[in-house]
Copies of this chain bind each other. A is one copy, B any other.
Amino acid sequence: MLSRHIDEIRALPLFAQVSEASFRDLTRGAYVQNFPPRAELITEGDPADFLHVVISGCIEMFASWQGRETSLFLLGPQDTFILAATIKDRPYLMSARTLEKSRLIMIPSEDIRAVFERDSDFAKAIVSELAACYRGAIKGAKNLRLRTSSERIANFLLKEYHAHGAQERFALDFEKKRIATFLGMTRENLSRAFANLRNHGVQVDGNEIVITDLDKLIAFARPDPLID
């Protein structure tokens, strides 16, 4: 089960530098599991029994309080969760659910902590991963608090544009509902914001995007390496 994925796991940044022995210790108790869409993987408040690594699919991290719910992150292949809870041996602060059919590796938290204690290369990898997660969280907070929804979409489209080889015409990789979640707004407001972008060099037809005026879009979006 696990062996079919050994190589891709080994290549993940978190494991690339650890010794062969440590890697065996980490994978011995680990297993790979497939989940259907909309499966709740972990629930906030539960003890952090496993570190999860996404192999394929799409995971939403969210949190609830008093019947309200907010989406905090969207994760894809190679992302991990929730490292901080695993390390500190504290309860999860977030819940996770699949948005589509997904495959994950689950590694017992005790194994993570044990290897962390004695393999300094693994400890370094963890620090690097944690620091990256932290900076990602800060960037997300800035994106949300400093920009309007139209500005967030404009920057999102610029990133997609470059991810598609700077083609002026491309298709969105996700359904709009998911993009709305990802950008922290409702799908109604996403629609309105897309409509609004017609004034800023973007044509939208279904999930076909045409950048009609790149300079205008950039002038509106003002992408910033300290946020994006």
Q: Interface code A124-145, partner B: CB below 8 Å = 1, 0 otherwise?
A: 1011101111110111011001
Q: Interface code A184-228, partner B: CB below 8 Å = 1, 0 otherwise?
A: 000000000000000000000000000000000000001011110
Q: Interface code A44-59, partner B: CB below 8 Å = 1, 0 otherwise?
A: 1100000000000000
Q: In the docked arrangement, what's the CA distance between A141 and B36, Å?
A: 28
- List B contacts of A227 (CB < 8 A): 65
How close is A188's CB to chain B, nearest CB, in angstroms? 18
Q: In the docked arrangement, what's the CA distance between A228 and B200, Å?
A: 42
* A49-106 interface (Cβ within 8 A of B): 63-66, 68-70, 72, 83-85, 87-88, 90-91, 93-94
Copies assembled: 2
Q: A44-B226, A65-B224, A70-B146 are in contact. Are A88 and B131 (CB under 8 A)?
A: yes
How close is A151's CB to chain B, nearest CB, in angstroms? 8
Q: Is A33 close to B, CB under 8 A? A: no
- List B contacts of A222 (CB < 8 A): 65-66
How close is A200's CB to chain B, nearest CB, in angstroms? 15
In the complex the two chains form, is B65's CB within 8 Å of A139's CB?
no
Q: Which of chain B's residues has its CB closest to A86's CB? A: B131
- List B contacts of A134 (CB < 8 A): 84, 130, 133-134, 137
Q: Interface code A26-55, partner B: CB below 8 Å = 1, 0 otherwise?
A: 000000000000000000110000000000
Q: Which of chain B's residues has its CB closest to A151's CB? A: B66
Q: From the candidates B91, B123, B145, B226, name the one contacting A123 in the complex (CB within 8 A).
A: B123
Q: Is A116 close to B, CB under 8 A? A: yes
Q: Which of chain B's residues has its CB closest to A91's CB? A: B226
In the complex the two chains form, is A138's CB within 8 Å of B137's CB?
yes
In the complex the two chains form, is A66's CB within 8 Å of B146's CB?
yes
Q: Which of chain B's residues has its CB closest to A135's CB? A: B84
How close is A7's CB to chain B, nearest CB, in angstroms? 27
For the complex of A and B, 6 pairs with smallest distance between CB atoms: A84-B131, A65-B146, A70-B145, A84-B134, A130-B130, A120-B120
